[in-house]
Amino acid sequence: MYIEEAYYFWRMASDLMLNQDFDILHLSEERNEIWLEKNIKSKAYVVRITQQTFDWSNQLKRDQDTVTENLKRFKRQLVGREVEVHNVYISEFPPVDDWSDRKQPLHLNDRKKTTVYHHYITEQRTEHINDIYNELGLTEPSFVVPSELEMEQTIYELRRSMKRRHKNNQQKMQQIFSFGKPRLTYLLIFINLAVFALLEYQGGSTNTLTLIQYGAKYHPAIMDGEWWRILSSMFLHIGFFHIALNMLALYYLGSPVERMYGSVRFAFIYFISGIIGGITSFALTPSVAAGASGAIYGLFGALLFFGVIHKKLFFQTMGPNLLWVIALNIAFSFSIPQVDIGAHLGGLVGGFLASSIVHFPKRRSLQMQIGASILVLGVGVGMSWYGITNEENHYDPRLQAQVAQEYAKEGRYDQVIQLVDQTFRHIEASAELYFFRAIGYYKQGEIEKGIDDLKEAISIKPSFGLAHYNLSIFYQEKQNSEQALKHARKAVQNNPDDERFQELLQSLEKSG
């Protein structure tokens, strides 16, 4: 009797959903088919119920093959390392030919270990359904078969209750993604682009001095008390590719995070992530650094926290793709030397902890929030202390030489001398730094000091052709032709292809 089959179909489906906390994966009233799932620990249980009758076993086989194909699509939405599927047919009568081989469990070993059990129910339906519940580890339902008239009314009520629950669940899901609007995300993108345009106008976003002047992370300045650079460096970017990549990431990550958390929580997550990322960069990386990468990685952390709190929804939506993107970005950060890995990892951890502190709207977990607050404070203070005491990171000779070179190009020779003097108070002497200070002395008329510095540079690096070249010029001005010729020859000896060196040597040999 069709009505009785329909009754058992809706009675079992509604009991699993309303009383056993299963969620709907898929519902098709036209095909009399419903898929439900529930996660218990690390195992996902799936029940597919369908009301249909097969005349022949080959028809049943085709349907079971379809179930296997649909599982590949649904498994992306399932949480857990193992999947147990119960495929339930509620039918009027069994196939007329032999279908015993269709009753055997099917084991699928792909991304997740999966076992499919088939149940073909034609008679003693209540007992058979109880057996399925026992296999699922559920309490047996008490199905009382009413009259045919009552069945119709019961089916109507069960269908309406399930639809109402399903609609409420969907609304709750939508509310998670629509608490706020991404206004702050757009404002941050605008500010970053405006600051980038200012840098380009004022000397170029790839110019080291311009970056330092406008607030990039620069250790000597931070050690002099300019801790605000940890925050200001979040709004500076080095080159067009850097700003384009970060603003695209901010748009695609910031929008969903701000929608889920709201603008106030988003602001807290963004800036705490950026600050923790900046402090970690200060502790681990001596180079001049700038960019919103730490804060952007913090948005990754916020989405990971979403995965912890709403695990099922996370894996049903962005989860697998997001985890792959994070893994790819971290691998990229470790493989490219120029990437500030400290800022990235610090921002990721900071974003996760900051999200744990603010939690989701209308959600509270006092113990978690207090613990996360302590951890954020501990990470910030700990990395700051490590950065302050790790003096090797404060004055990088190569970076300081680069800054000195930029000062020299701009004719700021007093700052070249001051920079080198300050650096030498903290680190061992560097040939390049002696060289640039010599240029500074020379431009200020202190040739003897310049000669002394070039001698020091050569003693550290005997093959320093440019130092020999300049020393030759300095001696020439001091009218010491013997020393001028000596160092001109050494300059050519170390750099035979440099035309300037060749011309100077020829000129000195002719005049000699």
- What pLDDT, on a 0 to 100 scale, did the predictor assign at position 374? 95
Helix (H, G, I), strand (E, B) or coil at 365: coil
Q: Tell me: the pLDDT tens digits for 77-107?
A: 777 778 999 999 999 888 888 888 888 888 8
- What pLDDT, on a 0 to 100 scale, did the predictor assign at position 1? 53
Mean pLDDT of 379-396: 88
- Asked if residue 210 and residue 163 are part of one domain, the reply reads no
- What pLDDT, on a 0 to 100 scale, did the predictor assign at position 386? 92
| 125-134 LR contacts (CB < 8 Å, sep 24+) | 125/8, 125/90, 129/8, 129/12, 132/47, 132/86, 132/88
Q: Which residues pair with 36 in a beta bridge?
A: 24, 47
- Is 100 designated active site? no
Q: Could you tell me which of 419, 253, 374, 375 has the C-alpha nearest to residue 322?
A: 253
Here the CATH number for the domain that contains residue 477 is: 1.25.40.10
Count of domains forming the chain:
3
Q: How many CA atoms lie within 13 A of 295 on its CB side?
A: 30
Q: Tell me: the pLDDT tens digits for 389-446?
A: 887 778 888 888 888 888 988 889 999 899 999 888 888 888 999 999 989 998 998 9
Q: Comparing 173-177, 206-210, 299-303, 329-333, which segment has the lowest mean pLDDT?
A: 329-333
Measured distance CA(454)–CA(413) in Å, rounded: 16
The neighbour count for residue 198, using CB atoms within 10 Å, is 14
- Confidence at 297, pLDDT banded by 50, 70, 90: very high
Which of these three, 176, 211, 233, is where a domain ends? Answer: 176
Q: Is the pLDDT of residue 49 over 90?
A: yes
Q: Is the pLDDT of residue 336 over 80?
A: no
Residue tagged active-site, from 344, 359, 394, 487: 344
- Asked if residue 109 and residue 166 are part of one domain, the reply reads yes
Measured distance CA(39)–CA(315) in Å, rounded: 12
**Letter string b/e over residues 398-424, b meaning 16 or more CB atoms within 10 A of that residue's CB:** ebbbbbbbbbbeeebbebbbebbeebb
Measured distance CA(214)–CA(242) in Å, rounded: 17
On average, the pLDDT of the chain sits at: 87
- Is 293 designated active site? yes
- Confidence at 279, pLDDT banded by 50, 70, 90: very high
DSSP state of 360: S
Report angle CA 321, 322, 327 to the nearest 5 degrees.
100
| 27-31 LR contacts (CB < 8 Å, sep 24+) | 27/166
Listed ranges 44-48, 78-82, 284-288; the one with the highest mean pLDDT? 44-48
Q: Angle at which helices 293-309 and 319-335 pack, to 10 degrees?
A: 150
Measured distance CA(84)–CA(114) in Å, rounded: 6
- What pLDDT, on a 0 to 100 scale, did the predictor assign at position 273? 96
Q: Is the pLDDT of residue 370 over 90?
A: yes
- Confidence at 227, pLDDT banded by 50, 70, 90: very high
- Asked if residue 271 and residue 342 are part of one domain, the reply reads yes
Which of these three, 176, 207, 229, is where a domain ends? Answer: 176
Q: Is the pLDDT of residue 501 over 80?
A: yes
Mean pLDDT of 167-185: 82
- What pLDDT, on a 0 to 100 scale, did the predictor assign at position 171? 78
Specify whether the CB–CB gap between 38 and 20 falls below 8 A: yes
Helix (H, G, I), strand (E, B) or coil at 468: helix
Which of these three, 371, 391, 411, is where a domain ends? Answer: 391
Amino acid at the residue 6: A
- Asked if residue 55 and residue 14 are part of one domain, the reply reads yes
Q: Is the pLDDT of residue 210 over 70?
A: yes
Listed ranges 20-34, 267-281, 423-437; the one with the highest mean pLDDT? 267-281
Look up the pTM and report it.
0.77
Specify whether the CB–CB gap between 251 and 305 falls below 8 A: no
- Percentage of residues in the chain with pLDDT exceeding 70? 96
- Asked if residue 271 and residue 366 are part of one domain, the reply reads yes
Specify whether the CB–CB gap between 116 and 87 falls below 8 A: yes
Q: Domain of residue 263: give its range.
A: 183-391
> Which single residue is written with the structure tokens 């404002």?
187
Structure tokens at 367: 């113990």
- Asked if residue 134 and residue 35 are part of one domain, the reply reads yes
Specify whether the CB–CB gap between 136 and 86 falls below 8 A: yes
Q: Could you tell me which of 129, 134, 41 has the C-alpha nearest to residue 83?
A: 41
- What pLDDT, on a 0 to 100 scale, did the predictor assign at position 335? 60
- What pLDDT, on a 0 to 100 scale, did the predictor assign at position 429? 80
Q: Is the pLDDT of residue 334 over 70?
A: no
| 403-411 LR contacts (CB < 8 Å, sep 24+) | 403/208, 403/209, 403/212, 404/432, 404/433, 404/436, 404/437, 405/436, 406/207, 406/208, 406/209, 407/209, 407/436, 408/436, 408/439, 408/440, 410/209, 411/443
The neighbour count for residue 39, using CB atoms within 10 Å, is 18
Specify whether the CB–CB gap between 250 and 296 falls below 8 A: yes
**Letter string b/e over residues 111-144, b meaning 16 or more CB atoms within 10 A of that residue's CB:** ebebebbbbbbeeebbebbbebbeebebeebebe
- Confidence at 294, pLDDT banded by 50, 70, 90: very high
Burial class of residue 107, CB neighbours in 10 A (0-12, 13-18, 19+): exposed
Helix (H, G, I), strand (E, B) or coil at 81: coil
Structure tokens at 54: 């097969």
Instruction: Measure Cα distances from 269 to 136, 265, 293, 350, 429 in Å.
Output: 41, 6, 13, 8, 42
- Asked if residue 375 and residue 471 are part of one domain, the reply reads no
DSSP state of 76: G
Residue tagged active-site, from 14, 205, 293, 430: 293
- What pLDDT, on a 0 to 100 scale, did the predictor assign at position 478? 84
Q: Is the pLDDT of residue 325 over 90?
A: no
The neighbour count for residue 227, using CB atoms within 10 Å, is 15
Here the CATH number for the domain that contains residue 222 is: 1.20.1540.10
- Confidence at 319, pLDDT banded by 50, 70, 90: low
- Asked if residue 325 and residue 193 are part of one domain, the reply reads yes
- Asked if residue 147 and residue 195 are part of one domain, the reply reads no
Q: Comparing 215-219, 229-233, 311-315, which segment has the lowest mean pLDDT?
A: 311-315
- Asked if residue 212 and residue 98 are part of one domain, the reply reads no
Structure tokens at 79: 């949480």
- Asked if residue 374 and residue 233 are part of one domain, the reply reads yes
- Confidence at 496, pLDDT banded by 50, 70, 90: confident
- What pLDDT, on a 0 to 100 scale, did the predictor assign at position 338? 62
Query: What spatial distance separates the first Cα and last Cα of the chain, rounded to whole Å?
Result: 120
Specify whether the CB–CB gap between 211 and 287 falls below 8 A: no
Ranges of beta strands (E only) in 332-408 are none
Q: Angle at which helices 481-494 and 465-477 pack, to 10 degrees?
A: 160
Q: Is the pLDDT of residue 452 over 80?
A: yes
pLDDT higher for 161 or 331?
A: 161
Structure tokens at 242: 């850097």
- Asked if residue 241 and residue 157 are part of one domain, the reply reads no
